[in-house]
Structure 1
Amino acid sequence: MLSRIFFMATLFLLQACAAQSQLVQDELETVTRENLKYYLYYPEGYSPNGDKEFGILLFLHGGGESGGELGWVKRNGPPRLLAQGKQFPFLILAPQNPHEKKWWNAQAVMQLLDSVVDNSNVDSKRIYLTGLSRGGSGAWELATQYPDKFAAMAVVCGMAPLPYAHWIDKEMPIWVFHGDKDDVIAVDESDQMVNKLKEMGYDVRYTRYKGVGHNAWDRAYTTDSLYTWFAKQKRLD
């Protein structure tokens, strides 16, 4: 008898809880906050109050430079060349991903970029994008989420968002670099993305290094014609 009473009481309780279930509509405004350290290079002849506007290159480093000292950013890519004394014809913005094992925070990076552009003598139609490895993946992401922002993009051995290739601005020139012996991010990532873009009529060039592993950036970023190519690009809209 007691077990029957307990069963009935439990059943009643479950029915009461079920009767109280409801779907509530609500809204919460969220805010993205990220502490981004960065380097900003100003080219020769730049003046914040001058008549001449300059382009700007946003560089996203790879996973090996994340989450440590800001100086790590100078290990590869344009920051490394700057440390060696190379000069460029445009500004270079090189933030550091503060998280060792997280992807780039796209919204935070764009907030930083917009702030630098708004407070510098920069031509908003000559904003360039590049990244290597995890930063290359970040570059693809920015290109898909902010298709109206960049005048040109170069990606070095990054994972590619193949299903969203059509989100990228068709008028933006793209240059992809990858080593065919990459055992970290397979060259198939770039092969398939480049083929997809070409099928859709995009302006894309592909440098596929024979016998090169994941460090394709060593050759890609010492290609002087890359920076000449960047400097020639400008958005028309």
Structure 2
Amino acid sequence: MLVIGLVLIPAIAWPLLSKDVQFNSVSGKIVQWASMAGGLIFIPFIMHFLSEIKLLNTENASPIKESLKDTLVTVKALALVITLIIGGMVTVEGYSSIYWGKQNFENTKKLAQLFEARTFVNSKGDTLFYHLLKPLNFDPKKKYPLVVSLPYGGQPGTDKIRQMEGAAAAELLSTDINRKKYPAFLFVPNCPSGSGWGGIPNYPSVDTLVYKAISALDTEPGIDVKRRYVTGISRGGYGSWHFICTRPDMFAAAIPVCGGDDPKLASRIVNVAVWAFHGAQDKNVPVSGSRDMIKAMKKAGGNPKYTEFQHEGHNIWYQVSITPGLWDWLFAQKLK
């Protein structure tokens, strides 16, 4: 336990101080493997426990009642089973984390290959990296909607590809079948380290820089400025609410998933089409965040849509993505 602790402490603490993406990636793997190794700690405990039983049997001269012996055997058996179950669960969880981390990264690399990597620099020199995917069979004479897919974050801010992880709507809408059914520009911004999309109190935001980058695309052919949409999960859900509350003139619709914002701002978005989602059992983002915004919008005269999954927690994207009529509803929205 001491050895594993000595490995985990620097592996977790160093990335908080370092901006070296490669080193931080290695550090993340060390944390995953060390955590999985922690699930095997029960093995030396069992070995030590068995050795002490042998000593007890040979050194203890006091007679033990048969009933007590049976009780001890039962207790030992239960302790062994419980230890094996808990240790096995921790080990499986550690391996699962490693496996899905690799799987998600492979999917993200494939997603990034479809997109064009771009850089926006404002008049002050502030830089925003983002990825843009044009509609399938793009015709510059036509007008297409723009979907802003906000990643939920958590990846190194300087890793342009890993930053795309969590841009769930972009991943869904970039499939061949959906690019044919819903031709649109897909916009995925990168979030610098220590920043967010807004909506979270006392947390730095790059919202204004993203708005500038979106506006800069208006000079390019094909984007319908009256059909710009924003969506995101978790931190991206907060950002989706924040984007429409601060720039209701820019976005015709939003799909905030597991997010929230200040209900006092709801009066600004009564004319924005909103379909929000949340899990009633969400332990990461309180469901009150969505409930309060929806309630405030309705009180202000808006007509938002809201779907709450009663028995679900934070990971509800799959249920959201297959909600009947969701994407037809989104692409039908237009600024008045």
Give the TM-score taking structure 2 as reference length.
0.56
Higher Rg:
2
Q: Does 1:162 align with 2:263?
A: yes
Q: 1:152-196 CA distances to partner (integer Å, 9 max, x unpaired)? A: 11101112221211122x221111011111111110111111111
SS at match of 1:36: strand
CA change 1:82–1:171 in 2 (3 A) is closer
Structure 2 residue aligned with 1:92: 186
Structure 2: stretches of 5+ with no match in the other structure: 1-121, 198-205
RMSD: 2.2
Find the aligned partners of 1:186 and 1:148 in 2 and give their Cα distance.
28
Structure 2 residue aligned with 1:67: 157
Q: Does 1:149 align with 2:250?
A: yes
Structure 2 residue aligned with 1:57: 147
Deviation (angstroms), 1:115: 1.3
Find the aligned partners of 2:278 and 2:155 in 1 and give their Cα distance.
19
The one-letter amino acid of 1:152's match is A
CA change 1:182–1:90 in 2 (3 A) is same
Find the aligned partners of 1:66 and 1:120 in 2 and give their Cα distance.
33
CA change 1:82–1:195 in 2 (3 A) is closer
The percentage of aligned residue pairs carrying the same residue is 30
Deviation (angstroms), 1:84: 5.1
SS at match of 1:148: coil
CA change 1:157–1:68 in 2 (3 A) is farther
The one-letter amino acid of 1:173's match is A
- The answer on whether the counterparts of 1:137 and 1:160 sit within 8 Å (CA) in structure 2 is yes
Structure 1 residue aligned with 2:132: 40
Matches within 5 A, 1:1-237: 33-48=125-140, 50=141, 52-65=142-155, 67-72=157-162, 73-82=164-173, 85=176, 86-87=178-179, 88-99=182-193, 101-104=194-197, 105-168=206-269, 170-223=270-323, 225-236=325-336
Structure 1: stretches of 5+ with no match in the other structure: 1-29
Moved more, 104-113 or 136-145: 136-145
Find the aligned partners of 1:202 and 1:193 in 2 and give their Cα distance.
11
Q: Report how many residues are paired.
A: 203
Moved more, 113-122 or 150-159: 113-122
Find the aligned partners of 1:118 and 1:65 in 2 and give their Cα distance.
31
- The answer on whether the counterparts of 1:125 and 1:151 sit within 8 Å (CA) in structure 2 is yes
CA change 1:64–1:103 in 2 (3 A) is same
CA change 1:163–1:230 in 2 (3 A) is same
More helix by share: 2
Structure 1's consecutive aligned runs of 4 or more residues displaced over 6 angstroms after TM superposition are none
